[in-house]
Amino acid sequence: MPTYNVHAAKTNLSKLIERAEKGEEVVIARGRKPVARLVPMGVPAHVLRRRAFGVLKARLKLPDSFFFDSLPEDDLKLWEADDEVTKGTTRGGTAEPRGRRQRPSTGSGRRSGTD
């Protein structure tokens, strides 16, 4: 979504209105802070709002057993086997902590006053 400052929006208002009529959303900013949105009139207000949690609650039905029943024995063994394989390893493949990396020495690190 393109952003225009107030001066550019005033200068190109008719062009921005045409873009909005085509369905594009344009943001107008004062400095770098967005302060207004130019949107087409046909778009319902609920479409412009940000999506909230629970939007699909009425459409999606999951039984309680989906969350609360234990895994079948075969699946559980696969998860536990995976834990045994990765136990004690880290990204690098070793379980020992690696301590701080030493940077290569390039001198004292201070600039001398004479260049």
CA angle, 76 then 80 then 84, to 5°: 170
pLDDT tens for the 115 residues of the chain, in order: 789 999 999 999 999 999 988 888 899 999 889 999 998 887 666 666 666 777 777 788 878 777 778 878 888 888 887 666 666 555 555 555 555 556 555 655 555 555 4
| C-alpha closest to that of 19 among 38, 36, 34, 47 | 38
Residue with tokens 């062009």: 15
The pair of structure tokens assigned to 92 is 């690098």
CA atoms within 13 A on the CB side of 26: 22
pTM, two decimal places: 0.39
Helix (H, G, I), strand (E, B) or coil at 14: helix
Helical H runs in the chain?
6-11, 13-21, 45-48, 65-68, 73-86
